[in-house]
Amino acid sequence: MGFYSFIRDERLVAASLGLTTIGFLFAMRTILEYYRDEAEIKPTPPKTQYITQDTEDSLRLSTLESLLGHYNFAIRDTTLKIITGRAVNDSTTIYHLLWGITREDYEERMEALRALAFVMEDKDTFQEPFNVLNTSKGYSALVRSLELCISDVEHEKLDDPLYDEYRLRDIGERRCLMLVSGLVHRYDIDRLIEAGFIEKWLARQPWGDNDEERLKNFSMYLDRRKNRISDICFHLKTSKAGRNALVKARLITQSRGSKRDRADHIKVVLEISMTNEDDVDGTSRAELVPRVNDQTAEEQRLRRRHREAMVLNDGTHSLGRSDIIEREHDSNS
């Protein structure tokens, strides 16, 4: 009877119903969450795909042409890099562009120059793109293109020390000079000289009407201008062949006197400066001949000791009296 009375207790029945309700609710919540998660449509993450060399090589020209007109900038940029990489590694394409920049037709020449300049400026695709232009054909084509640019527009005389006309030059001429400047900074200048850059283009610039005016304006241009033309001319002057070509073009003068002559000249100046220290009455030039006939051995030793000096000059300025440091001596020695 005790067991039946226990299970009939109202408190036990209420506790059992409460626990059953809580368990049922927890089970229903768990089941609903499971079905909710299973029914959710999750977006599929995109797969990372890389364009390999085989993929690039498999693209046809018609496909690349259609990709160039794509609305996505990243796709257009990637397509340009693929085309640039093919052009740099294809000698036939480079020779075709070099042939194009030597055409007399202005539009055809500009199209070839734009393409060639774009290929040379893309350093991400090719480590050293200027290597394909470092040939005799490359230099000759650039010089020929510059020669054609002379007749495209009329140039004013280069005699204004304050006016830099480089930015107002024709875009084709500036592109050629950009390529030439890139070549002379990476390779030797001799190939550019052999291609006739000075005779065919530089000497034909309006430097002046006579030799004196040409020399003056060219020297002024190199001193006042900081552009690609002055930079290329600086490299030309560092080469012996370049200096000779500039002399023939009447742009600079031939330097006279050898190093030995200049050394002798400096020696004479030193002797005159030293004698001026001893004689201040205007008889210094007579002191170039040593006076040893009327002096004793002791007097000659003291005179030589008094004349000992050091000359310090770092080459940044011309030699002067302030560069001479004499040895100190007392009157009793």
DSSP label at residue 321: G
Alpha helices by DSSP H, listed for 101-170, are 106-121, 136-149
Residue 2: the pLDDT is 65
Residue 25: the pLDDT is 92
Name beta bridge partners: 324.
Answer: 311
* Number of alpha helices (DSSP H) and beta strands (DSSP E) in the chain: 16, 2
pLDDT in tens, 98-151: 898 889 888 888 988 888 888 777 655 556 778 888 888 889 999 999 999 888
Measured CA to CA, the distance from residue 24 to residue 116 in angstroms comes to: 78
SS3 label, residue 310: strand
- pLDDT at 247 exceeding the cut of 80: yes
Q: What is the dihedral of CA 73, 178, 235, 185, to 10 degrees?
A: 20
Q: Check if the beta carbon of residue 111 is closer than 8 Å to that of residue 101.
A: no
Name the residue with higher pLDDT: 85 or 30.
Answer: 30
Contacts 24+ apart (CB under 8 A), 61-65: none
Measured CA to CA, the distance from residue 208 to residue 221 in angstroms comes to: 12
Measured CA to CA, the distance from residue 212 to residue 126 in angstroms comes to: 47
- Cα three-residue angle 64-67-68, rounded to 5 degrees: 90
pTM: 0.57
Q: Which residues contact 262 (CB under 8 A, 6 or more apart)?
A: none
Residues written for the chain = 333
SS3 label, residue 15: helix
Lowest mean pLDDT among 7-11, 26-30, 103-107, 310-314: 310-314
Average pLDDT on 293-320 reads 67
